[in-house]
Structure 1
């Protein structure tokens, strides 16, 4: 099954760690280093450009204000970088979970065209083995936050953001947060699009002229998420069955040990066999904790990361729909202005009045608002509206095109990140399985000669 797809990640260079580790340092993959081998002429218009590397880590969770009701956990965040935006090559600071939430939310707001990785849920039931201050919970949370910063560090735009730099370097992070809220970079200006009724721009609209490139991307995202979901369901069943087998082998070991007490002639071999069964049960449990559980966590994390990518594609479609709806609205207003001009000039029959325009004229006549003076005033207002709409349509078109170009670059970045994480995840899975089967072979090879020496006299 793997033979047909074995070259999927050939474009990704990586380093194989000496032992499986879910908190290993970042390998020298594309996206962590400068593109020194690529000239500007070699890159396409939608190829991303990395200006340096940023290697991050999250470690040393500590419970702060432990004896108070305001207790929380802080994490040491460190980085190594050659990016010129950083004032030191190895910045570090201590941050709590709410600081990560602020960082993520405001990066998503400041860079709407970027796939900003999601944070783990604040209370994931899969974590909970005690309370939120238990060592197991804090370690799992640390690993998820570590992966979150790794994804930011891979991104050529986000790794150079001033907010991320302050997250690592600032000793007055609370001041930075207040300043960022009060003066966000590049706020979106309100315009005519904000004044148009939701009946025009609604969530149920569809792009009238879809771009084949983005349709292909959406299809690729659908297939990828379907594969991740199926893998998550499959490995969840594998985990449950392995847990059942772990208990069955333990029960079998206890039963064999009891049999050894009854069969005095072969007590020692049966005890060895019982110990082997206990060791194999422990190996299954160890593999679940060190290989299967991290795999499931990574699969779920990668699935939510893909959801963030889908949201960016959806936002791009919305930008295009804004342009299309504004264009239609401008066309309608222009038609109404031309109709009024034709009526004033006495050429109403040549304007191709529809039933809607006819009824509108009748209503105006009943209200006494069908004289030329009111029509001229209405035309003056429509001319101003048309000018405003023309500017809005031009802006929406430029915004849609620029957003589409950025999303094309973003998909390349996400593809690199996805391939890197898939290779890391499958590599850890393979290493864990190899370790399990090697240890299992050693255990069973030791017991086989002992079992073979058993002689039972049948009388």
Structure 2
């Protein structure tokens, strides 16, 4: 069944699509090295919105995708749109889990949470004003076979390898844009604060789980006690029953909490995507500075050769002083070569300047869009989390029996009575 959320996906007909990752299925097969493996595939369903608007209800188009195919799509988007904070994928293996939660990536609960995360990723991408117009995205959603070949034909892999080498290199920008420096610091704080919140939530979940399960022990004791008591047996049995129910309720509570934790994890991973945009700006700025510096150096060499005045120490200058000036033909040839290199350098600086300015303008717009989205999403998630906690507390409180002190029996013990 298709989800209610719709997102604009610009295909050849510029139509809108409903997108849903409907279900997950475990399969067996062979990997690239011909070894048997078990993997999970996800059913992606789409349906054109124009058909729905016209009152028709056609069956959705569907295809199966592996998690690695979602990764390929995102890597393509990262390389093709370096100025965009590309939405992250859900975690490949569970992180920040409390001790009773399985970290196995084949666990049904984890697979279900990942299914929701993959659907959210597609909806994020398809609702983005730029990414939604990408043809590769349309191929991913509509072509079950052959879409990988279309991706690789774009040549993005070579760009990806070059990008990784460049981003992993150590360099220092002389005149960094203060806005991007602040945004990089913002991404570091976002990641730090989110990870601290997730760690705190794990500790609270572990402690809360222990408190609830202690009531399960009390429930067993009260139930056993009720069997040997006559006057207050019913009250003890009722109390034991409610303590058992109270202890069992923690599983549903923490399972619901896990969905809110996944929303926080999304922005934990978003921080890395935001940093990648800032890093790309640093790289573009660095390349511009290096090209400008090289152009200045060549112009200075040209001036020194043309005037014969050496302003800076060079091995070539010392050689000329010791062994005499070079021949006029050699001098003219060097000047001509330098003029060609200067022309190329000026063109390179011009291209790098345009590239840098375009990246700054586009990236800044998208980063502001991201911040607005982040503020809205996290505010909504935290409010819903608080409402969920209040609702759970009211539910637990209303389900507890009202215990009151009854009369003492012949031995002086107080009889516990239960009323509803």
| TM-score category, normalised to shorter length | 0.7 to 0.9
Distance in structure 1 (CA, Å) of the matches to 2:104 and 2:202: 24
> 1:300: which partner in 2?
265
* CA displacement at 1:124 relative to structure 2: 3.4
Query: Where do residues 68-83 of structure 1 align in structure 2 (5 Å cutoff)?
Result: 69-80=36-47, 82=49
Instruction: Indicate whether 1:313 and 2:300 are aligned.
Output: no
> 1:181: which partner in 2?
152
What do the CA deviations read for 1:358-414 (whole angstroms, capped 9, x no partner)?
x43224666888444433332222222111111100000000011111102211331
Instruction: Indicate whether 1:60 and 2:7 are aligned.
Output: no
Distance in structure 2 (CA, Å) of the matches to 1:53 and 1:235: 39
> 1:251: which partner in 2?
217
> Please, which of 400, 403, 417 is the counterpart of residue 359 of structure 2?
403
Contact conserved, 2:284 with 2:356, CA < 8 A, in 1?
A: yes
What do the CA deviations read for 1:199-253 (whole angstroms, capped 9, x no partner)?
xx99443333333433443343344333322321221221111122122222222
Distance in structure 1 (CA, Å) of the matches to 2:265 and 2:126: 20
Instruction: Indicate whether 1:454 and 2:406 are aligned.
Output: yes
Distance in structure 2 (CA, Å) of the matches to 1:247 and 1:267: 23
Contact conserved, 1:54 with 1:159, CA < 8 A, in 2?
A: no
Distance in structure 2 (CA, Å) of the matches to 1:131 and 1:210: 43
> 1:383: which partner in 2?
339
SS at match of 1:454: strand
> 1:326: which partner in 2?
291
Query: Where do residues 303-452 of structure 1 align in structure 2 (5 Å cutoff)?
Result: 303-343=268-308, 348=309, 351=310, 353-354=311-312, 356-357=313-314, 359-363=315-319, 370-444=326-400, 447-448=401-402, 451-452=403-404
Distance in structure 1 (CA, Å) of the matches to 2:301 and 2:325: 16
Distance verdict in 2 for CA 1:125–1:418, change over 3 Å: closer
SS at match of 1:236: helix
Instruction: Indicate whether 1:230 and 2:196 are aligned.
Output: yes
> Please, which of 226, 240, 245 is the counterpart of residue 206 of structure 2?
240
Q: Which runs of 5+ in 1 are unaligned?
A: 1-22, 35-50
Distance verdict in 2 for CA 1:342–1:394, change over 3 Å: same
> Please, which of 120, 127, 134 is the counterpart of residue 147 of structure 1?
120
Contact conserved, 1:62 with 1:74, CA < 8 A, in 2?
A: yes
Distance verdict in 2 for CA 1:122–1:202, change over 3 Å: closer
Higher RCO by CA contacts (8 Å cutoff, separation 6 or greater): 1
Query: Where do residues 66-215 of structure 1 align in structure 2 (5 Å cutoff)?
Result: 69-80=36-47, 82=49, 91-124=61-94, 129=102, 132-172=105-145, 175-184=146-155, 203-215=169-181
Contact conserved, 2:18 with 2:49, CA < 8 A, in 1?
A: no
In the alignment of these two chains, the number of paired residues is 389
Which piece of structure 1 moves more, 321-330 or 261-270? Answer: 261-270
Hey, which of these two has a bigger chunk of strand by percent? 2
What do the CA deviations read for 1:89-120 (whole angstroms, capped 9, x no partner)?
95432212222121111121222211212223
> 2:54: which partner in 1?
none
Distance in structure 2 (CA, Å) of the matches to 1:112 and 1:455: 76
Instruction: Indicate whether 1:26 and 2:17 are aligned.
Output: no
Distance in structure 1 (CA, Å) of the matches to 2:323 and 2:172: 38
> 1:274: which partner in 2?
240
Contact conserved, 2:17 with 2:49, CA < 8 A, in 1?
A: yes
**TM value normalised by structure 1:** 0.74
Distance in structure 2 (CA, Å) of the matches to 1:202 and 1:281: 50
SS at match of 2:232: helix
**TM value normalised by structure 2:** 0.80
Distance verdict in 2 for CA 1:185–1:91, change over 3 Å: farther
Distance verdict in 2 for CA 1:310–1:53, change over 3 Å: farther
